[in-house]
Amino acid sequence: MTDTTPIALTLTFTPDNNIPPPRSTPTPAQSSLIDRPPQEYLTQVRQLLNEGLNKSELSDLCFDLHIEYDNLPGESKSDKARELVSYCVRRSRMPDLIACGKQLHPDLPWDNAQSTSTSHADPTGALHATIRWESDMIGVRTSTFTAPFNGQDLALVIQALDRVQSGAAAFLPQEVTRLTHLGIPMNQNWVGAHAPQQVGQALFQALTNDPTGAQALDTLKNMAISTDRPIALRLRFPQQAIDLAALPWELLWDAQSPTPLLFDHGQRADCTRHVDLAQALPPARPSRGAIQILAIAPQAGIDETIRSAERAARMNAWQPLIDTGAVIMREISPATRSDLVDAVQQTTPDIIHYFGHGMYSNGEGALFLDKDDGTWDRVPASRLAGLFGKTRLVVLHACQGAMVSHGTGAQGLLTGIAPALSAMGIPLVIGMQLTMRTQAATRASSIIYRALVEGQSVQDAVSLARQALYVEEDDQASWYVPVIYIRSRDTGPAYVLR
């Protein structure tokens, strides 16, 4: 009988600031506030805005930046300062914020903030790591890695990928210049259709730049071809490696191949991310009865037209499973904290499906629920983990337009929430590393849930969804967006039902 078991390849990443940086001396600008890696100065800028400006001045600063102050989530000045920083970092507009701040309040120490970091990081801001390659086919090998994008450049590249599928507003001239320098194809002020491929190729080149890594991957690829078995890529990150985990690894693409690594030579490989915790994965629920799905659909900050379209598409996709009794679905919308607590306490769901806004800021992820008065309620992942802990799978996806609405800087990327929930103890989390079109998201969810009901693993379910989107979408803009986080050191298949 032919062995079709995937060839498992585990890559364990360890951030390493001791890898020698390029032999260049940082310029004075590289030592200034606006050019430090975001994690070293976000808190300082937030404090400067909160303590140095009054509410009216903060509103004036937003006006100068063409950001709607009232659309920033939160009510207090401190909330607005935090969300303004988050907005500017994710859109690579920190230089604009600092420049406008200087004009508005030149007496404040915009250039003199001192980094509290004790890291001896590369002064160029490059992100370095060591990678431990493990597979039964090659044993254990170690390589070095330098990320092709990091800090504000990474945020800008992620934003470019998002705009390929969202069709959002054009980039500013200085952003176009920077993206072009980074190798992202641009058509005047718009992102070229081949941007995902270019990003995937840059990431693949960085991964295989060390000959040890290149040889290891080449060996496994040849083995997969000769045995007609796919590669199962397992990426393990320490809890603190947010920047490494933010890279779009699912896009890995050898420049010598017409297809991405996950579909190389007609195979359907899978890719999962593991938060490095010394904890076992709870057992799958026995396959008795219907899968219980709790759909959470907050209303604050989401246009009613988009929300209605998402729900209609979601119900159309799920209805066949509901009609056969394979799935029992409950929905809460609007979704306040008390609504959510009551729903989970009444019947612990097998799957929680969240459609809304999320963000990762100041070291913690959060999702937005509704307040009783219809405004935002930012709920930290640590609070949600205390409620979701008995749920087997949490599925998160952002609504269409969630990242690109003018002045709503806090929506962010839900991949920040996925690793946060995984690190907090949720066994399986599927998140979206970009805003995802409503049609693509519901198509993916219908395939994923159908496969789970059939008893397939979460890895296979998401792999099938990626394959469908890769084939069905003309611009192939969404297939790599779903990501899986698994809270386990085990690299085998994970199930909701078994």
Per-range mean pLDDT, top range of 97-101, 331-335, 399-403? 331-335
CA distance linking residue 109 with residue 145, whole number of Å: 36
* Contact in structure between 387 and 424 (CB atoms under 8 Å): no
**Contact 417/370 with Cβ under 8 angstroms?**
no
Higher pLDDT, 498 or 81: 81
Q: How far apart are CA 259 and CA 247, in angstroms?
A: 19
Taking Cα atoms as reference points, which of 108, 110, 122, 101 lies closest to residue 32?
Answer: 110
Among the residue ranges 264-273, 360-369, 460-469, the one predicted with the least confidence is: 360-369
CA distance 65 to 144: 40
- Which of these, 193, 144, 168, 208, lies nearest to 14 by C-alpha position? 144
Q: From its phi and psi, is residue 266 left (phi > 0), alpha (psi between -120 and 50) or beta? A: left
Query: Which single residue is written with the structure tokens 């330098």?
Result: 146
Confidence (pLDDT) at 427: 86
Confidence of residue 171 (pLDDT cuts 50, 70, 90): confident
- Alpha-carbon separation of residue 309 from 287, 399, 400, 408, 432 (angstroms): 32, 10, 10, 21, 19
Token pair 């209805």 in the structure block, residue: 319
The architecture of the domain spanning 291-486 is 3-Layer(aba) Sandwich (3.40)
For the chain, give the percent of residues with pLDDT over 90: 31
pLDDT of residue 22: 39
Per residue in 35-85, pLDDT (tens digit) is 334 455 677 888 889 888 999 999 999 888 888 888 888 888 988 998 888
pLDDT tens-place string over residues 291-302: 899 999 999 878
> Could you give phi then psi for residue 171, rounded to 5 degrees?
-80, 160
Query: Which tokens hold the place of 466?
Result: 């990626």
Q: Are 257 and 264 in contact (CB under 8 A)?
A: yes
pLDDT at 411: 35
- Which pair of tokens denotes residue 333? 């919308």
**pLDDT exceeds 60 at position 401:** no
Which pLDDT value is given to residue 165? 75
Mean per-residue pLDDT, 426-450: 85
DSSP secondary structure string, 274-327?
Answer: EE--S-PPPPPBPS-SPEEEEEE---TTS-HHHHHHHHHHHHHHHHHHHHTTSE
Over residues 77-95, the mean pLDDT reads: 79
Average pLDDT (110-125) is: 47
pLDDT tens digits along 120-164: 344 446 788 999 999 998 999 999 999 998 877 888 898 888 888
Q: Structure tokens of 103? A: 């004009």
Q: Give me the mean pLDDT over the 196-205 stretch.
A: 94
**Residue 55 host element (H or E):** helix 55-64
Q: Which of 184, 146, 180, 144 is nearest to 164 (CA)?
A: 184
Cross-strand partners of 361:
364
Strands of 158-230, DSSP E: 186-187, 190-191
pLDDT at 410: 36
Neighbours of 228 (CB within 10 A): 12
Confidence (pLDDT) at 278: 62
| Bond prior to 211 in cis (omega within 30° of 0) | no
Which helix (H) or strand (E) segment holds residue 419: the answer is: helix 417-424
Span 312-328, average pLDDT: 86
Closest CA to 87 of 101, 99, 103, 69: 69
- Amino acid letter, residue 96: D
- 2-36 pLDDT, tens digit each: 677 889 999 999 987 655 543 333 333 333 333 33
DSSP 8-class letter at 337: H
How many other C-beta atoms lie within 10 A of the C-beta of residue 279? 11
pLDDT of 259 > 90? The answer is yes
Residues sharing a CB contact under 8 Å with residue 189, sequence separation 6 or more, in sequence order: 170, 171, 172, 173, 176
Q: Report the C-alpha gap between 92 and 9 in whole angstroms.
A: 34
CA dihedral 461, 436, 46, 29 (to 10 degrees): 100
- The values of phi and psi at residue 214, to 5°, are -60, -45
Over the stretch 215-250, which tens digit does the pLDDT of each residue have?
999 999 999 888 888 899 999 988 777 678 888 999
Q: Which residues contact 405 (CB under 8 A, 6 or more apart)?
A: 71, 411
Compute the distance between CA of residue 187 and CA of residue 173 in angstroms, rounded to an integer.
12
- The more confident residue out of 412 and 448 is 448
CB contact at 8 A, 244 and 163: no
AA letter at 81: A
pLDDT of residue 361: 61
> Does residue 23 sit in helix, strand or coil?
coil
pLDDT of residue 145: 94
Q: Is the pLDDT of residue 404 over 50?
A: no
The domain segmentation of the chain, as residue ranges, is: 7-17+136-275, 42-104, 291-486
Edge-to-edge strands, sheet with 358-361? 358-361, 364-370, 376-380
Find the largest Cα–Cα distance for the chain: 76
Mean pLDDT of 92-104: 81
HSE-CB for 347 with a 13 A CA cutoff: 14
Range from 184-188, 306-310, 474-478, 484-488 carrying the lowest mean pLDDT: 306-310
Identify the residue whose tokens are 């597979």. Answer: 135
Q: Which residues pair with 252 in a beta bridge?
A: none
Average pLDDT, the chain: 81
pLDDT grade for 253, boundaries at 50, 70 and 90: very high
Tell me which residue of 236, 321, 238 sits closest to 491, measured CA to CA.
Answer: 236
